[in-house]
Structure 1
Amino acid sequence: MYTLIGLTKTRTFRVKWALEELGLPYTQRQAPPRSDEAMEHNPSGKVPALIVDGATLTDSTAIITYLADKHSGITCKAGTLGRARQDGFTHLILDELDAVLWTAARHSFILPEEKRVPEVKESLKWEFARSEAVLVAQMGDGPFLMGEEFTIADIVLTHCLDWAIGAKFGISQSRLREYLKTVHARPAYIAARAD
């Protein structure tokens, strides 16, 4: 059994969803970022953390990659062209969507107030919309990033798109709005959202 540390409303959701997709048993400890429990498992205080056989793994994308590889699901096999394409999507999402949302969050409520530059959010929204168009141009015809196959790249993308909606960035691409309807209907997504 895995032990998942972190609040579902954080990037912890990515790991929780992967565990649900893979049908793996886990317990979750709802530790907020920078709480004593979060700091115990990650000196940065960031969540999620996953306890595996007494070891602690950190970083949501590293954790879901480990789980997918270990349990041979929701991923293309390492060393294949499919995996290289999947990893390309994952890194594009992290670099161009997640990083923009994280910067906006830092300038909204994370940084000390005197360090925040709220005016940066408008340029970040523009950058996010531009990156959406780049992503859509690379998507194939299937319902998911990798066509008919749902992978961890879809988990990271969906989390970022949900985050963008919550942060009032919105979704500029109709293809991504339709994509969200498809992934939001997945039973594992629904189960992971339930607390």
Structure 2
Amino acid sequence: MAQVKIYGSVQSRAARALWCARECGIEFEHLGTDSKALKADPEFARINPNGKVPAMVDGDVTLFESMAINLYLAHKYGKSLWPTTIGDEARTYQWSFWGMTEVEKPLLTIVIDTFMTPADKKNPKAVEDAKTALQSPLSVLNQALKGKSYLLGDTFTIADLNLAAIMAWAKLVKLDMTGNSDVANWLDRCLSRPAFRGK
């Protein structure tokens, strides 16, 4: 039986942890694809008292929050994913947290309105506001990727995985990347990896 257990459906932020585990090449057990059942499970409440996914168990280590899970897995198991200098470690944290604070909320606003909101409750202004809000971070990211294949240089790392896992929603909603071709090309490189596609 696999020591690492990852809880949450592939339609949730657990997809990020599943991608990371596949990149690390580890055996893992994917559990709890039914979020409602998990919330009612007292065993799961001991793993994540917030009652949300993803969550992870690795022996006596339990974690929640997708970025924390991924940083842990990459550091412990993903030798090629983990940066080799302390400066790049700091940049890994920077880009992981930046994705959560600058990119995730506006992208999620568009995803929810596009795919989960009934036609009579859609909010085109909120979507346009979210698209406008994304222009500045996209420009920042585009500039950071100039002359590089990946965030830390020529090698795909956990920094790329964590940010690309958020930015994947941009593909889902067909976000216009005009003027940000370095971002578009980087995202294509990241999302073309077999481990992202579940292989």
Determine if contact 1:4/1:29 at 8 Å carries over to the other structure.
Answer: yes
1:20 equivalent in structure 2:
22
1:96 equivalent in structure 2:
102
CA distance in structure 2 between the partners assigned to 1:122 and 1:48 by the alignment: 29
Q: 1:152 is matched with which residue: 147, 158, 178?
A: 158
1:53 equivalent in structure 2:
59
1:6-63 CA-to-partner distances (Å, cap 9, x unmatched) read 1112211111111111111001125244x12155433433211112215431111000
CA distance in structure 2 between the partners assigned to 1:98 and 1:118 by the alignment: 18
Q: 1:116, CA displacement in angstroms?
A: 8.8
1:128 equivalent in structure 2:
134
Task: Tell me which stretches of 4 or more aligned residues in structure 1 moved more than 3 Å.
Answer: 102-111, 115-118, 167-172
Q: 2:12 is matched with which residue: 10, 14, 34?
A: 10
CA distance in structure 1 between the partners assigned to 2:103 and 2:175 by the alignment: 11
The 5-angstrom pairing of residues 39-118 of structure 1 reads 40=41, 41=44, 42-73=48-79, 74-77=81-84, 80-104=86-110
Length-normalised TM-score, structure 1: 0.81
What percent identity do the matched residue pairs reach? Answer: 27
Aligned to 1:45, the other structure's residue is in SS state coil
Q: 1:109, CA displacement in angstroms?
A: 7.9
2:186 equivalent in structure 1:
179
Which range moved further: 84-93 or 20-29? 84-93
Structure 1 pair 64–182 and aligned structure 2 pair: CA distance change class (3 A) = same
Determine if contact 1:50/1:56 at 8 Å carries over to the other structure.
Answer: yes
Q: 1:125, CA displacement in angstroms?
A: 0.9
Structure 1 pair 28–72 and aligned structure 2 pair: CA distance change class (3 A) = closer
CA distance in structure 2 between the partners assigned to 1:56 and 1:3 by the alignment: 9
Which range moved further: 37-46 or 135-144? 37-46
Q: 1:31 is matched with which residue: 30, 33, 56?
A: 33
Unaligned runs of 5+ residues in structure 1 are none
1:76-95 CA-to-partner distances (Å, cap 9, x unmatched) read 157x1111122222222221
Aligned to 2:135, the other structure's residue is in SS state helix
1:127-160 CA-to-partner distances (Å, cap 9, x unmatched) read 1122111111122523111111211221122222
Unaligned runs of 5+ residues in structure 2 are none
1:162-194 CA-to-partner distances (Å, cap 9, x unmatched) read 2122234343422122112222332222225xx
The size of the alignment, in residue pairs, is 190
Determine if contact 1:32/1:47 at 8 Å carries over to the other structure.
Answer: no
